[in-house]
Amino acid sequence: PRTIYLKDYRPPAFLIERTELRFALGEDSTQVESRLRLRRNPAAATPAAPLVLDGEDLELLSVRLDGRDLAPGEWVQDAESLTLANVPDAFVLEIVNRIKPQENTRLEGLYKSSGNFCTQCEAEGFRCMTYYIDRPDVMSVFTTTVVGEQARYPVLLSNGNPVEKGVLDDGQHFVTWHDPHPKPSYLFALVAGNLSCLEDSYKTASGREVALRIYVEPHNIDKCDHAMASLKKAMRWDEQRFGLEYDLDIFMIVAVDDFNMGAMENKGLNVFNSKLLLARPDTATDLDYERIEGVIAHEYFHNWTGNRVTCRDWFQLSLKEGLTVFRDQSFTAEVTAGTVKRIDDVRMLRSRQFVEDAGPMAHPVRPPSYMEINNFYTVTVYEKGAEVVRMYETLLGREGFRRGMDLYFERHDGHAVTTDDFLAAMADANGEDLSQFQRWYEQAGTPRVTVEDAWDAASGRYTLTLRQSCPATPGQPEKRPFLIPVAVGLLDAQGRDMPLRLAAEAQAAGTTRVLRLTEAEQQWVFEGLVERPLPSLNRGFSAPVRVSYPYTETQLAFLAAHDADAFNRWDAGEQLATRVLLGLIADIQAGREPALPERFLTAFAAVLTDAGLEAAVKAEMLMLPSENWLAEQMDVIDPDAIHAARSYARRALAGELEAQWLGLYHTHEVSGEYRFDPRDAGRRRLRNLALSYLAALDGKPMRQLAASQFEQADNMTDSLGALAALMLIDGAEREQALATFYDHWRNDPLVLDKWFALQASAQRPDTLARVEQLMQNPAFSIRTPNRVYSLIGAFAGNPTGFHAADGSGYRFIGAQVETLNALNPQVAARMVGVFTRWRRYDAGRQAQMRAELERLQGLDLSRDVYEIVSKSLQ
């Protein structure tokens, strides 16, 4: 496959002013008629270029130019395009082609899901429906007519507003939709099916009434209330926080069961994976409720950051994704508990994005090249991209950031732009030179900031020296210094924040200061201090970097108990626990008896019994670092020792503090009907965490405790919490509960996904056999991404299952990748990602993973899988 480079970007040779489409949906095939009003782009590089349209797997039936039928010799067709030489400067092109949505297993373009038609066009799916200039900088006004059998497809939807509808012969009907906002093809959507609709309305800040509709399969209509409430919350928040109003008369969301990713922000017609929309207390967990609220908000926020202002090319993906993730993170933090959200986001960034940034697929937030753009919907583009946007806010302040956003929309509304344009708006609106900030978009890798301090008691001066470096990444051996905002506080011996006065300042200003680290090495001197402080660094995770400072364990425990910055309190505890666990891993590897240090136990117990801590924050602080995170801290990853050490620590913490855990469990029962609110959700989280620790103690009493929670639970959070705890304990209760759960939910695929995932994640010797057996379950289908993610994906993420020393996990996932490669390359590419870090393991595992990658490389691979396999082997 060929590599596409950002440096080769050229403006399009033609623009499409109007796009009129007619889809005649059939049971065997669908006929697509398009009428495009094209004109040469005055900004094009080559004035007489031919017209090249993108198109894949299309059966071309006819081509007409300005009303004249063209003969086959007047165009050139290949597997990916249709070329017309010698076209006029402005003309109307009419094309008729046929496609087979029923045979579409890739789930790109038009396909069928549960008997309904739906589309997924981002990034390059539109070209699988009709010939088009399928790139985001070609924005057009769309009018779409959908024709289908009325009995099968009573609901016919597309973008914009409905302008005409009618009944045709042979039981067919049609609806015509017009979207007045010019948009790129990737935001096009069409849905047709037998769907029920939850209706509501919303009055915008300026007083316009917007109809809100959520479409689902009829049996799911009682699971849409949370999504609707979330949508209205998000609409209000965007008005209040960013002054952004919705711009059409109708906003629709459709849930589909077969979807490669989470959701899609098509203009006025969002399409959602049903797992991110449907929720009822007995079917969805608190985490599901939270995710749904976040993703509904995310897709809605794209209406401005992505749709009104879109990307010039796919290298700019983070322009819309990083910014929109930042917006959805801010929304969730403001409507729930901010600290917990920040901890969860950073935990995920560190355990996934830092890992990606240190591996063979590492790429900058704005990648310079790709083979397959679908492979670049990554944690780097999304989550690190969001951190980059957050740094603007940290540097410029909340008001400065808002000024930048306002200028961005003022300059670019209705256009397709770049991350440079975003940076320029932020800089210009605030009179700042942010040119060095550009490096966050261009350089891959996680920077390291090393901190040294010096205390001069005689003068009361405290000096912090910060040094930055960034490891080499593929294609980037050398890095230039970043502009890093490091938020710093200083604690006195009582754990109170000290007022901060930097040298040359007349008076102290605040207790947290954002230091702008721009050089490889820089110093800051704080004056007027009466005692040696303890630094609290990178408060709130102000920059996506690794910070090293030689804290002692006592200092970490002190910060964990006292830091005024709640995020850093958690982070200090996390660093301490990581150190302790790495010590236990070393003990196990050396054949020594592991023992939990007394100091750690005391600090842990203090958190466990702290009555002043909010339940959700306490749960965060009592969770041990994940096995993946611990793996990243090791030179040679040893999955067995990591698992043994972590299990040992859990058992020890459970055994030493059994009475306290039980106390916590019994005092955190949530009474009354299930409500999804941060307080109740926090209590359930903490209580289920207590149960999972207690489960580590094994034995009948704990089995009974979990089994009785399982029997009595009136909501999915508690039901699944109990089932997860039972999965940790051998005994009849476990199989009994699994069977009960299955019998109860056998007709609800989304709930069964949880059942699949729990079993595939179990760190037990028989897990692979169980997964193979579950693949035969009638509820499983390798063609449905949700099933694949929940069973095969969960197993791939199970460190002891996937990395079984005999290589069975590698061979199993390799075989699934091979099957998926032919059916759905996007899903296959997601599954193969677990092999990328093969060099980090011991020689035996390396050889087996490498062999599996080489075997895959020898197959006829899709572009998606080929790119990841070949880059992993480089």
Residues known to be catalytic: 299
Residue from 211, 261, 358, 586 touching ligand HT7 (CB under 6 A): that is: 261
Q: Which of 122, 134, 356, 627 binds ligand HT7 (CB under 6 A)?
A: 122
Q: Would you count residue 862 as binding ligand HT7 (CB under 6 A)? A: no
Partner touching 120 among ligand HT7, Zn ion, none, CB below 5 to 8 Å by kind: ligand HT7
Only one of the segments 20-28, 167-175, 256-264, 653-661 lies at the binding site for ligand HT7 (rule: CB under 6 A); that segment is 256-264
At position 358, the amino acid (one-letter code) is A
**Can you read off the two tokens belonging to residue 254?**
């459709």
In the complex, least distance from residue 108 CB atom to ligand HT7, rounded to whole angstroms: 7
Is 108 or 321 the residue whose CB approaches Zn ion more closely? Answer: 321
Q: What string marks each residue from 315 to 334 as x (binds Zn ion by CB under 5 A) or -?
A: ------x--x----------
Residue 537: C-alpha distances to residues 175, 320, 570 (Å): 58, 30, 13
Instruction: Measure the N-to-C terminal CA separation of the chain; round to a whole number of Å.
Output: 15
For the CB of residue 419, give the shortest distance to Zn ion in the complex, in Å: 15
565 binds, among ligand HT7, Zn ion, none (CB under 5 to 8 A by kind): none
Side chain identity, residue 468: Q
Q: Which does 702 bind (CB under 5 to 8 A by kind): ligand HT7, Zn ion, none?
A: none
- Report the partner that residue 374 touches, choosing among ligand HT7, Zn ion, none (CB closer than 5 to 8 A by kind): ligand HT7
Among 113, 116, 120, 430, binds ligand HT7 (CB under 6 A): 120
Interface residue with ligand HT7 among 321, 571, 620, 748 (CB under 6 A) is: 321
Given the complex with ligand HT7, which of 339 and 824 has the nearer CB atom?
824
Residue pair 580/652 in contact (Cβ under 8 Å)? The answer is no
Of 95, 358, 366, 275, nearest to 751 (Cα)? 275
DSSP 664: H
Q: Which residue has the tokens 């289920």?
A: 688
Residue 260 interacts with, from Zn ion, ligand HT7, none (CB under 5-8 Å by kind): ligand HT7
- Dihedral sign, Cα of residue 839, residue 845, residue 846, residue 852: negative
Interface with ligand HT7, residue 264, by CB under 6 A: yes
* Smallest gap from residue 268 Cβ to ligand HT7 (A): 15
Using CB under 6 A as the binding rule, the residues of this chain from 354 to 383 that contact ligand HT7 are 374, 377
| By CB under 6 A, residue 123 contacts ligand HT7 | yes
Reduced to 3 states, what is the DSSP secondary structure of residue 585?
helix
Are 155 and 195 spatial neighbours (Cβ–Cβ below 8 Å)? Answer: yes
**Angle formed at CA 610 by CA 609 and CA 611, multiple of 5 degrees:** 105
Q: Considering CB distances under 5 to 8 angstroms, the limit depending on partner class, which of ligand HT7, Zn ion, none binds residue 264?
A: ligand HT7
Q: Is 191 helix (H, G, I), strand (E, B) or coil?
A: strand
Does residue 425 bind ligand HT7 (CB under 6 A)?
Answer: no
Where are the alpha helices (H) located in 626-748, listed in sequence order? Answer: 627-632, 639-656, 658-667, 678-695, 699-712, 716-727, 732-745
| Beta strands, E only, 340-444 | 369-370, 416-417
Partner interacting with residue 377 (select from Zn ion, ligand HT7, none; CB below 5-8 Å by kind): ligand HT7
Choose the stretch contacting ligand HT7; rule: CB under 6 A; options: 258-266, 522-530, 720-728, 788-796.
Answer: 258-266
Radius of gyration of the chain (CA): 28
Neighbours of 591 (CB within 10 A): 6
Residue 719: Cβ within 10 Å count: 25
Is 260 one of the binding residues for ligand HT7 (CB under 6 A)? Answer: yes
Dihedral Cα 323, 328, 332, 335, nearest 10 deg: 100
Min dist. Cβ of residue 142 to ligand HT7 (A): 18
Q: What is the per-residue binding string for ligand HT7 in 297-316, x denoting contact by CB under 6 A?
A: -xx--x--------------
- CA–CA–CA angle 817, 823, 828 (5° rounding): 30
The 3-class SS string of 470-522 reads CCCECCECCCCCCCEEEEEEEECCCCCECCCCECCCCCCCCCCEEEEECCCEE
How many binding residues for Zn ion (CB under 5 A)? Answer: 2
Residue whose C-alpha is closest to residue 294's, from 243, 244, 330: 330
Part of the chain binding ligand HT7 (CB under 6 A), chosen from 259-267, 394-402, 518-526, 619-627: 259-267
Minimal CB distance to ligand HT7: which residue? 261
Looking at beta carbons only, is 263 or 869 nearer to ligand HT7?
263
283 touches ligand HT7 (CB under 6 A):
no
List interacting residues with Zn ion (CB under 5 A). Answer: 321, 324
The binding site for ligand HT7 (CB under 6 A) comprises 120, 122-123, 260-261, 263-265, 298-299, 302, 321, 374, 377, 826
